[in-house]
Amino acid sequence: MKDNFSNQAPQYSKFRPHYPQELIDHVLSFVKNKDTALDVSTGNGQVALALSKHFHMVYATDISENQLLHAPKIINVIYKNQSAEATDFHDHQFDLITVAQAVHWFDFNTFYAEVYRILKPNGIIAILGYGLFSTNSHSDKILLDFYHTIVGPFWDSERKYLDENYKTIPFPFEEIEAEPFLNQFKWNFDQLVGYLETWSAVEHYKAHHNLNPIDLIREELEQSWKNGDKKVTFPMLLRVGKLK
């Protein structure tokens, strides 16, 4: 698994969008017993926090110790600095395993073998994520060019799974049909730029060119944002399954 986000941990915690409660509730509706959950590649602990309100105990893992330092301290959440593919958990320990915006970085075969080991026979796995957001039509043109042309060459190859809405990831489980969800916000310009700063391709561009690519569009985008409705809409990605 790659660690592309340790450097942006403070921005990640501040600017990454949270998952809508309706989506979390939908996932929970498939879980019969709510004793122990695991949030894999938890990042800043967004999903772990949401799960902590429903489970007796939640474990949350990440390979980035810096990310975990920015996760909220919760009495029934235990954070562990370890990879998704090799954990120290007991066999059949979890009623629910979640992965939010991260499964595309994993070695699928190794990770799914681990899921089969640590998920209870009647447990649920939920793969969550979100695709490229949309906003007003003028700002969309600027942002799409930024996404595809300016930083496009700097996306890791795994990004394609998000562009394909997680429909093409391997998913060796008995799939449960999930409802579609959108996540909508109203952002000021600083929130928009803060989110763009969390993109791994932006970080790769900076390292390669010693230049922030957002500066190439900042003036035009800011003017467009002022003239627009400042609304952003994320398509939510969700795959839910249980052991075959």
When comparing pLDDT for 96 and 5, which is higher?
96
Q: Which residues are paired to 234 by β-bridges?
A: 183
Neighbours of 114 (CB within 10 A): 20
Structural contact between residues 11 and 67, judged by C-beta atoms closer than 8 angstroms: no
Q: Supply the DSSP symbol for 120.
A: E
Q: What is the mean pLDDT of residues 216-230?
A: 97
Q: Assign domain 9-134+157-184+235-242 to a CATH class.
A: alpha beta
Tokens 């795959």 sit at which residue? 239
| Residue 5 pLDDT | 47
- Assigned token pair, 36: 């122990």
pTM across the whole model: 0.91
